[in-house]
Every structure is written in structure tokens, then in C-alpha cells.
Chains A and B, each alone.
Chain A
Amino acid sequence: MEYENPQIDETINLPAEHPLKDFVILLTGVAAFALATFYMLILLADYATRYIPFSFEQTLMDQLEQFSALEQVMGQPGDEEIEQYLQALADELAIAQQLPGDMPITIHYIETPELNAYATLGGHIYLFSGLLASCDDENTLAMILSHEIAHVHHRHPIVALGRGFTIAVATLSAVGASTSDISYKVLNYFGLATQLSFSRQHELEADHTALETLQRHYGHVGGADRLFELIGNSEKNPLNTLLSTHPLTQQRRQNVVEFIDNHPGHSTPEIKLPKWIEQKRPSENH
């Protein structure tokens, strides 16, 4: 019997689809599904996290402060007198904002050249010396403080934490607990993108409440536009070739203009910061 090995037909084992087309379909499929799921999860987290009582936030923060963990992360505490001044101003603004009495604000003044301020859990607000150094008057400072107090008022810190935690658990359940895996990196990217788009909403909400606070306390919102000028300038990084300001900052500036149009206030001149603060705070370095 004559045997022979024939030429094998390649269409049997080799796939007909082009690998690139397959990859694009896979990626868009995963992206669409991930974004839709994360969006739903964030809405769920937003609803559910508000049931966590504020007292729980306070307890959590007290425990963290016991271990001085926050100080290591945030930085060296700044001048005590400045901190007391800021605390007094914050308490005034909290009253103007009608913050509930069981949500006390605690101001922490930190010695760091950064132009930033954070509101975290339990009503703790961290203000960096760099930001104070850029403020020329009390109104701008009040805008910053009111904005952070508004974050606390609307429970933004715990909601943001809840969102992040929900996304993290969802991603890990889909991928398995190995965070170096490529599938984890892809899902994590979509998770972060969804969270970032939601955090804009928080910033705009806090801005609006802060503007109302300023209007109630001073009768006008004089410091607000100056603050966004500051932010806009600090974003103009000389190394950054994209010269446009951050779209969120632009929108916030626009909102201030609209607010002024809707709430014409009697313009009292801006209140200068007390002289002893100007002497004590670090000098501006721009």
C-alpha cells in the first residue's frame, strides 16, 4: 500500500479573523462593559455611603491620628497661632453655611510649599502654607475654607472613599487578586477614569455652596474669582506645552461669573489679612 503525507489545508487550524480586528473588538467590548458597570456601581455607592454616620468618620480619623499616620503623610504642622486664626475663620464660615452642630470642623495648618487644601473624613481640613502664602486677602482665604467646609457638609470625602472602594472590590473580583496582571491594569484604568469624571461633580457642588457662604457672610463673592486666577496660574507649568487651562478650572471660573450676575452684592472692599499673619507666613515664591 502506498502511503503519502499530503499538504495540510491551513484553514483548519489557523483562524480566519485578523488578530488586530479581534483585539480592537475585545478592547472596546471590555471598555464598554467596564465603564457601564463602574458607572452603575458608583451610583449605588453614592446612595449607600450616605448612610454611614458622620460619627463613624470621626472615630476612624481619631484612630488614625493616634498613630500619627496622617502627620507623616501630610507634613509638618505649621504655626499654631495661624492655625487658631484659620480655625476661628472656619468656625465663622461654618455658621454662615449652616453646617449642623454635630459636624465640627478641625483645621490643620501644614508647613508645605504646595498650593493646596484637602478636606478629609470627620470634618478635618488640611491647609498648606503655600496656599496661604498666595492669598492676599481674607476673602480669597474664605473662599478656600468655605469650599472645603462645603465638601464636609455634603459628605464628599466618605462618598469618594466609598466609590473608590466599590470600584476596587469590583475590579479585583473580576480579575483575581493579582494587581500586576495586565487585565487588572486595563480595568483599573477604566475605573479611575469613571471616578475622575464623577469627582468633577463634587468640585462644582462645593464651589456653589462656597459662593453662597461668601455671599451670606460678606455680601459679595469678591475673593472667588481671585482664587481661580491663582489656580489657573499655578496650572500653567512652564514645562507644559499645552497652554490651555484645565477645563474644570475654566468651568469653575465661568460659574463664579454666572453667580455674580445672579447675585448682585453690595461690594464692600476686601478684608486684608491681619498684619501679623503677613509677617509670620512663608514668603511667596513666584
Chain B
Amino acid sequence: MELIPLLVLTIIGYLSGSIIERRHFRSIRERESQLIGILTFSAKLPPAEDFDKQSVLVTGNVVISVDYFKHISAALRNLIGGRVIAYETLMDRARREAILRMKTDAKEKGASQIFNVKLETSSISKGGANQIGSVEVFAYGTGLI
């Protein structure tokens, strides 16, 4: 039966994927509480009193891969329609990780505030058929030292 290798991959994907995801979320929560002092704003300009501060570009980048279990869940969901739950946790992880890395970059450069924070998401495999995709999130902003 050609479904056996598919089944094996799905089980491996689910087990390893869920372990990795749990660990990642734990690490994300830890670092978020550590870096809570670095403020992020989506506003373009800082308040007038900070105009003379030194500014620097800070960035954070992360690429996370989809495991086979998520891939199959999403494929089935694409047949039926509705929220693709498997990908929601993936996107949340990726976004928060990218922002954390941007905050880390800011901390190293001595910035305590980041303005004009923007996020850009892209798919590495561009959704090719039967390819396991990866998602890349890039966070960037202006750090004020």
C-alpha cells in the first residue's frame, strides 16, 4: 500500500513537530519576559522629545519549516475550507520569534525603543505541489539609542 510511507511520515511529523513546537513556545515566553523592557511601536515617528536621539536599523529574521503532519492537515482543510489550525501556531511562533530577534538586536546595539516596526512574511517554497514549505518572517524597525 502506498499509504504506509505517508502514514509513517505523518506520525514522525506529528511527534517531532509537537515536541519542537512546545519547546519553542517555552523559549519564546521566557525571552519575551526578559526583553519586555525593549518597547516596540508601530507608529512611524517617535514623540518630539526623542527626535535628537541616535537611530539605528534593527532587524530580526526567522525561517520555520512545516512538518508533514501540518502539511497533511492543511491539505485536507484546503478540500473542505475553514481555519487551518495547524498553520496558526506556526505563524504565531514565527512572528513572535522574529520580533524577539529584532529586540535582541536592538538590545545589543543599545536601543531601548523601536519605532516603525514592520513584519514581512514570505513562503520559501511558494506553495509548490507536494513540497514541504517553510515560512519566513522578517521584522524590522528603527531603534532609538
Given A13-B92, A23-B69, check contact A183 B76 (CB 8 Å): yes
Given A23-B72, A23-B76, check contact A5 B92 (CB 8 Å): no
Residues of B within 8 A of A3 (CB): 39, 41
Residues of A within 8 A of B129 (CB): 178, 180-181
Given A13-B88, A22-B73, check contact A5 B79 (CB 8 Å): no
What separation, in Å, do the CA atoms of A286 and B72 have in the docked complex? Answer: 46
Q: Does A257 contact B (CB under 8 A)?
A: no
Interface size class, chain B: 20 to 34
Closest-by-CB residue of A relative to B73 is A23
Q: B85 touching A17 by the CB < 8 A rule?
A: yes
> How many residues from A make CB contacts under 8 Å with B?
28
Q: A14 touching B92 by the CB < 8 A rule?
A: yes
Residues of A within 8 A of B2 (CB): 185
Q: A186 touching B92 by the CB < 8 A rule?
A: no
Q: Does A4 contact B (CB under 8 A)?
A: yes
Residues of A within 8 A of B36 (CB): 4-5, 7
Q: Does A204 contact B (CB under 8 A)?
A: no
Say what secondary structure dominates the interface of chain B.
Answer: helix
Q: Contact flags (1/0) for A136-177 with B, using CB distance below 8 Å?
A: 000000000000000000000000000000000000001100
Closest-by-CB residue of B relative to A1 is B47
Min CB distance B17 to A, Å, is: 9
What separation, in Å, do the CA atoms of A23 and B47 have in the docked complex? Answer: 48
Q: Contact flags (1/0) for B45-85 with A, using CB distance below 8 Å?
A: 00100000000000000000000011111011111100101
Residues of A within 8 A of B89 (CB): 14-15, 19
Q: B39 touching A5 by the CB < 8 A rule?
A: yes
Q: Contact flags (1/0) for A247-272 with B, using CB distance below 8 Å?
A: 00000000000000000000000000
Q: B92 touching A30 by the CB < 8 A rule?
A: no
Residues of B within 8 A of A175 (CB): 79
A-B contact count (CB 8 A): 73
Min CB distance A60 to B, Å, is: 30
Q: A181 touching B32 by the CB < 8 A rule?
A: no
Q: Does A103 contact B (CB under 8 A)?
A: no
Q: Does B104 contact A (CB under 8 A)?
A: no
Q: A15 touching B14 by the CB < 8 A rule?
A: no
Closest-by-CB residue of B relative to A179 is B129
Q: A183 touching B40 by the CB < 8 A rule?
A: no
Residues of B within 8 A of A4 (CB): 36, 39
What separation, in Å, do the CA atoms of A95 and B112 have in the docked complex? Answer: 97
Min CB distance B62 to A, Å, is: 16
Q: Does B135 contact A (CB under 8 A)?
A: no
Min CB distance A8 to B, Å, is: 8
Q: Contact flags (1/0) for B1-25 with A, using CB distance below 8 Å?
A: 0110010000000100010000000
Q: Does A27 contact B (CB under 8 A)?
A: yes
- Where the two chains meet, the residues of B that have a C-beta atom closer than 8 Å to any C-beta of A are 2-3, 6, 14, 18, 32-33, 36, 38-41, 47, 69-73, 75-80, 83, 85-86, 88-89, 92, 129-130
